[in-house]
Structure 1
């Protein structure tokens, strides 16, 4: 089977007529300029050393060079083979806290943005895994089911904001329950012969106001699901900004007494959740190695084979075409424009042209 991998390369063929047209008008313009400078009677004598045939040959070679370069850029392929490609990894749910407290700016630009940035890095550095995205606050909502399409996952991560769920607060128990359902609905079916490694990564500031999360984490761990938690924010804490529809700062969130609310990270709650889920707890810091450590920990888990596909590979044939183009370019460079054996007058004496 013969095919071109990069058909868009043929758009560059417009360079060929451009070379011909520009060369034609350049010759006419230079001839006219010379005739105006030295006169039309003297011009034929002074320009008689220039070979019009060699100029045409050089133009033809330039056209051929561009043609072969474009042809090589189009990547002609001939011959094919098939190869079995196995997809292996783990099933992961990224559960991201989108409560108002995640908008605190004790880390820049704010806790939620920092979490989204690091999760995008995780997606880029953990290919082959099936990943789902869940937003949670007082309730949890699955935004993206398990998929091995990193572009789709990153799109859902970027779309996370405090409006992703309708209820404020932080409810880890609801997160774990919804994550379990997401694994059962969209994950690999398990039985006595198939074991799937499942991971829940919770990105939050840890302000859980509900009970029962630790017991739910222990039960998931008994079923083989590991829970990792990442804390965002500082112990000093920060105020929660209130912005208008245009994003301009109006003030800061206040309690019923009119005092500015200061939200601090609750690392102990997240650490206890990770320990119950037989995972690890990380504190996110600027320039820290929490992403690397999490990737290593997940990488050490047992991989699951998701599916097997047959990939078709085509044999590249552009190398010879590219070599021909290079050789023609070198030939064009060494061809001069003077007539062979031309003789001109130097004073009273006729001498051969160099």
Structure 2
């Protein structure tokens, strides 16, 4: 079977008539300018050394070179083979804390912004997995069901804001329950034969957590759902900025007594949650090694085959057309325009060209 992979490349064939028209236009204009400069009687004598036949050959070589370059760009393919491609990985839910405390700037540009960057980086480091996104604070909401489309996941991560949920606070229990529902609705069906490795990755500063999260984590661990946690922020803490609709800083959040609220990371709470969920706890540092460690730990888990597809592969044949185009272009480059055997006139004597 013969086919072209890149049909759009044939749009460049307009260069061929353009070369012909432009060449004709400039040749005619230069001839007219020379006739005006030296006179119509002297022009035929001075231009007699130029071979119009060779000029036509050079134009033909240019046209053919462009034609074969376009054919090579269209990627001609011949022959085909079929190969089974298997998709394997684990099902992961990113549960991201979008409470107001995650807007603190004790890490730059903010805790939430850092989490977005690190989680997007995780997507690139863990290809083949099915990933979903849950936003949580005082309540939880599923933003993206499980999918193996990394572009879609990054888009949902980038959209995370405190307004992604209806109430503030930090309720880990709701986040865990929402993540579990996402597995049940969009994940691979499990039975006595099929076992799916499932992971909930919680990215949070751990503040103001509700009771009952540890019991829920232990229950999920017995069902085969592992819980990993990433802590964002510093123990020193930072103020929560308040911005206007244009994003300009108006001040910092204050309590009822008018004092600036300082929010600190609660690593112990996140560590306990990971231990209850038979996972691991990581203290996030921007550009640190914790991301690689997390990838290694998840990589040790048993991978599940999600689906398999048959991919058809074609053998590329563009190399031949590209080589022909290069040869024609080189021939055009080295081909002169002088007539063969022409003798220049110098004074009273004719001499061969040097």
Question: Do Structure 1 and Structure 2 share a fold, with TM-score over 0.5?
Answer: yes
User: 1:334 and 1:294 mapped to 2: Cα distance?
Assistant: 60
Per the alignment, residue 33 of structure 1 pairs with 33
Give the TM-score of the pair, scaled to structure 1. 0.97
Structure 1 gap segments, 5+ residues each: none
Aligned to 1:327, the other structure's residue is in SS state helix
Matches within 5 A, 1:192-203: 192-203=192-203
Per the alignment, residue 306 of structure 1 pairs with 306
Query: Which range is displaced more, 131-140 or 246-255?
Result: 246-255
The answer as to 2:269 corresponding to 1:269 is yes
Per the alignment, residue 212 of structure 2 pairs with 212
User: 2:3 and 2:249 mapped to 1: Cα distance?
Assistant: 57
Matches within 5 A, 1:202-351: 202-351=202-351
Residue 115 of structure 1: CA displacement? 0.4
Per the alignment, residue 103 of structure 1 pairs with 103
Q: Residues 172 and 208 of structure 1 are in contact (CA less than 8 Å); yes or no, is this contact kept in structure 2? A: no
Structure 2 gap segments, 5+ residues each: none
Residue 299 of structure 1: CA displacement? 1.0
Aligned to 1:293, the other structure's residue is in SS state helix
Residue 282 of structure 1: CA displacement? 1.0
Per the alignment, residue 173 of structure 2 pairs with 173
User: 1:287 and 1:325 mapped to 2: Cα distance?
Assistant: 47
The answer as to 2:73 corresponding to 1:50 is no
Aligned to 1:200, the other structure's residue is in SS state strand
User: 1:263 and 1:48 mapped to 2: Cα distance?
Assistant: 89
Residue 348 of structure 1: CA displacement? 2.1
Residue 92 of structure 1: CA displacement? 0.2
Residue 208 of structure 1: CA displacement? 3.5
1:175-234 deviation per Cα after TM superposition (whole angstroms, max 9, x unaligned): 111111111111111112111111111100111331011111112112221111111111
The answer as to 2:136 corresponding to 1:148 is no
User: 2:319 and 2:91 mapped to 1: Cα distance?
Assistant: 42
Residue 14 of structure 1: CA displacement? 2.1
1:42-98 deviation per Cα after TM superposition (whole angstroms, max 9, x unaligned): 111111000011001101110111111011101112222211111000000000000
Per the alignment, residue 85 of structure 2 pairs with 85
Per the alignment, residue 137 of structure 2 pairs with 137
User: 1:18 and 1:209 mapped to 2: Cα distance?
Assistant: 70
